[in-house]
């Protein structure tokens, strides 16, 4: 810990650590309380490290095992609220990675619950931050320190694996009493094709740095108002609509989204222009947004299929939000059909 804090708190020497309860999902993570024998530093930090073998292998397959750690070590300052990193490291030989970062609760941040939808104002605030990220880091002018970020490609070998996982997720959803959540006629093979098409679509058009996984459980409320983003494990290069559609459709209740998504998309486009980016036309933006729910729906069925990556109640609630958006936005008739 002394070494990890040295960059921001030179001279501080950690004399004792108290590791809080470890939450072991996609990664293992815990709040760590610190005591000092010399100098000053934060009263607590948040630590993430690689978790169990199966999630590690999944992250390796996605080429995302060390993404957050490398982002932490890059020194790049991101233009939206997020936990500032102290240090990050990757051990490829052991399939290991670790990140030491701010504990947002120390400054009054409140992590959001993945099972609960966000308020419209919270989503609007988050879109303002994502707009600054997307406008500020176009792929064509990416800093050398972020050269490790890549588009997420789903190769042909993943097709059958994805379909099998989706089928398992659909069966598990039905056993949990959610068999009426999915649109009629949407089976694993059809959704698998749309999932792959969504990933390909995200690799077309203007590319920029994405958070990659902006669902409510990866956000927190700021003490002074606003929305911050946690968990940058799936940061990547892609089309802005991946983040925006995933965040809006996966974060709002169906009723709120039906009322507010057009205004929120307009707010995002305006924020991109204010941040110096080039906003697309409304028709292009709306078409891209309509195509996004298939990706989120498949992603969370995969998550449910794997079992312990996220709490079951969060999986079911998020699947329901994406399924409602899939129907309302007629995603099956969009560019990913």
Among the listed residues 291, 146, 265, the one whose alpha carbon sits nearest the alpha carbon of residue 209: 146
Q: Which residue in this structure is represented by tokens 């994805």?
A: 162
Q: Which of 107-111, 126-130, 197-201 has the highest mean pLDDT?
A: 126-130
pLDDT of residue 155: 66
Q: Cα 247 vs. chain centroid, distance in angstroms?
A: 8
Q: Name which of 229, 255, 318, 249 is nearest 289 in CA terms.
A: 249
Sheet holding 110-111, edge to edge: 110-111, 219-221, 227-229
Q: What is the pLDDT of residue 323?
A: 98
- The domain made up of 2-104 is a member of CATH 1.10.357: no
Token couple for 275: 């941040």
Question: Per-residue confidence at 4, pLDDT binned at 50, 70, 90?
Answer: very high
Range from 113-122, 151-160, 168-177, 288-297 carrying the lowest mean pLDDT = 151-160
Question: What torsion do the CA atoms of 166, 170, 176, 180 make, to the nearest 10 degrees?
Answer: 140
Paired tokens of 192: 């698998």
In this prediction, residue 56 carries a pLDDT of: 63
Fold of 110-333: Aminoglycoside 3'-phosphotransferase; Chain: A, domain 2 (3.90.1200)
Rounded Cα distance between 154 and 199, Å, is 7
Q: How confident is the model at residue 311 (pLDDT cuts 50, 70, 90)?
A: confident
**109: Cα separation from own chain's centroid:** 18
2-104 and 110-333: identical CATH topology: no
**pLDDT recorded at residue 326:** 97
57-98: pLDDT as tens digits: 666 666 767 899 999 999 999 999 999 999 999 888 788 889
3-state DSSP assignment of residue 153: coil
- pLDDT score for 237: 96
- Computed over every residue of the chain, the mean pLDDT equals 92
Could you report the per-residue pLDDT of 126-167, keeping only the tens digit for each?
999 999 999 999 999 999 999 999 887 776 667 677 899 999
At 210, the pLDDT band (50, 70, 90 cuts) reads: very high
49-63, 272-286, 319-333: range with lowest mean pLDDT:
49-63
Name which of 57-61, 97-101, 269-273 the model is least confident about. Answer: 57-61
Tell me what pLDDT residue 335 has. 80
* Ramachandran area for residue 154 (φ above 0: left; ψ -120 to 50: alpha; else beta): beta
Distance CA 23, CA 288 (A): 35
Tokens (6 digits) for 297: 């729906």
Quick check: 46 and 72 in contact, CB under 8 A?
no
Classify residue 83 by its DSSP letter: P
Please report the sign of the dihedral spanned by the C-alpha atoms of residue 198, residue 202, residue 300, residue 271.
Answer: negative
Task: Give the pLDDT of residue 179.
Answer: 82
**CA dihedral sign, ordered 238, 63, 8, 122:** positive
> Which pLDDT does position 319 carry in this prediction?
97
So what's the pLDDT on residue 94?
Answer: 81
CA nearest 116: which of 299, 311, 294? 311
Higher pLDDT, 59 or 193: 193
Where is pLDDT greater, at 169 or 95?
Answer: 169
Instruction: Map out the domains of the chain as residue ranges.
Output: 2-104, 110-333
């Amino acid at each position: 810990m002394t070494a990890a804090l040295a960059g921001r708190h030179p001279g501080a020497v950690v004399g004792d650590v108290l590791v809080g309860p470890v939450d072991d999902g996609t990664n293992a993570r815990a709040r760590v309380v610190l005591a000092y024998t010399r100098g000053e530093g934060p009263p607590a930090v948040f630590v993430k490290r690689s978790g169990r073998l199966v999630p590690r292998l999944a992250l390796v397959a996605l080429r995302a095992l060390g993404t957050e750690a490398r982002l932490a070590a890059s020194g790049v300052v991101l233009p939206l609220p997020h936990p500032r990193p102290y240090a990050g490291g990757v051990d490829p030989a052991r399939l290991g990675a670790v990140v030491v970062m701010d504990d947002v609760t120390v400054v009054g941040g409140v992590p959001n619950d993945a099972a609960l939808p966000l308020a419209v104002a919270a989503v609007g605030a988050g879109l303002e931050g994502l707009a600054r990220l997307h406008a500020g880091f176009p792929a064509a002018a990416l800093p050398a320190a972020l050269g490790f970020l890549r588009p997420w490609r789903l190769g042909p070998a993943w097709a059958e694996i994805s379909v099998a996982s989706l089928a398992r997720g659909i069966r598990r959803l039905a056993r949990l009493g959610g068999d009426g959540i999915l649109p009629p006629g949407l089976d694993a093979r059809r959704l698998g094709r749309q999932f792959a098409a969504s990933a390909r679509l995200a690799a077309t058009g203007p590319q920029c740095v994405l958070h990659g996984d902006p669902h409510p459980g990866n956000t927190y409320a700021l003490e002074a108002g606003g929305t911050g983003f946690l968990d940058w494990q799936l940061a990547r290069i892609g089309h802005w609509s991946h983040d925006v559609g995933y965040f809006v459709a996966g974060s709002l209740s169906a009723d709120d989204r039906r009322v507010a998504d057009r205004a929120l998309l307009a707010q995002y486009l305006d924020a991109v222009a204010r941040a110096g980016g080039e906003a697309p036309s409304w028709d292009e933006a709306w078409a891209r947004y309509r195509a996004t729910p298939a990706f989120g729906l498949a992603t969370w069925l995969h998550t449910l299929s794997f079992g312990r990556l996220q709490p079951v109640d969060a999986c079911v609630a998020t699947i329901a939000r994406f399924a409602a958006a899939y129907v309302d936005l007629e995603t099956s008739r969009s560019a990913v059909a």
